[in-house]
């Protein structure tokens, strides 16, 4: 009876430990990794959260053309991954400043992307993914 209880417990631990791993999406399922788009964007908000930090931009080029401002949300790795790249925290970015961002667009055509390269106004760059 003890052996059966142990086996049932072990099987349950294996099954339940696998559930969170399958809940996370694969980047290539959400983003078109074969495309790399570049945008000059005015930073409007930073969400320094897990599992993905998010940066919100208004497309500065579109706004300069007199079009309606297009708001984009670009995801990155979480805060720990960003720190490993050299970004010390959300406060290092200035709301209202213009950044050049390279990103992989969402497959569904929404204004969502996976940030690949973030270039600061002073030319300093942070790279998360290969830029091709």
* pTM for this prediction: 0.72
CATH superfamily, region 27-127: Nucleic acid-binding proteins (2.40.50.140)
* 3-state secondary structure at position 118: strand
Please choose, from the candidates 43, 100, 102, 40, the residue with its C-alpha nearest in 3D space to the C-alpha of residue 65.
40
pLDDT-based confidence at residue 3 (cuts at 50, 70, 90): low
Pairing of strands 112-119, 98-105: antiparallel
Residue 20 is predicted with a pLDDT of 40
Per residue in 89-115, pLDDT tens? 667 889 999 999 999 999 999 999 999
pLDDT of residue 5: 46
DSSP for 32-77, written as a single string: -TT--EEEEEEEEEEE--SS--EEEEEEHHHHHTTSPPPEEEEE-S
Question: Per-domain residue ranges for the chain?
Answer: 27-127
The whole-number pLDDT of residue 30 equals 87
- Kindly report the backbone phi and psi dihedral angles of residue 32, in degrees, each rounded to the nearest multiple of 5, phi listed first: -85, 95
- 67-91 average pLDDT score: 81
pLDDT in the model for residue 87: 78
Per-residue model confidence (pLDDT) at position 15: 41
pLDDT for residue 58: 94
User: 36 vs 3, which has greater pLDDT?
Assistant: 36
- pLDDT digit string, tens, across residues 28-70: 788 999 999 999 999 999 998 888 889 999 998 776 777 777 9
């Amino acid at each position: 009876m003890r052996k059966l209880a142990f086996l049932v417990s072990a099987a349950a631990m294996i099954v339940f430990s696998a559930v969170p791993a399958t809940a996370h999406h694969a980047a290539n399922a959400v983003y078109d990794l074969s495309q790399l788009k570049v945008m000059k964007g005015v930073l409007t908000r930073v969400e320094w959260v897990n599992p993905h930090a998010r940066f919100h931009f208004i497309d500065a080029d579109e706004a300069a053309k007199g079009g309606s401002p297009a708001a984009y949300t670009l995801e990155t790795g979480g805060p720990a991954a960003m720190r490993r790249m050299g970004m010390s925290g959300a406060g290092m970015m200035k709301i209202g400043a213009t950044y050049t961002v390279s990103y992989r667009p969402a497959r569904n055509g929404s204004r969502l992307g996976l940030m690949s390269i973030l270039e600061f106004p002073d030319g300093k760059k942070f790279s998360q993914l290969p830029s091709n």
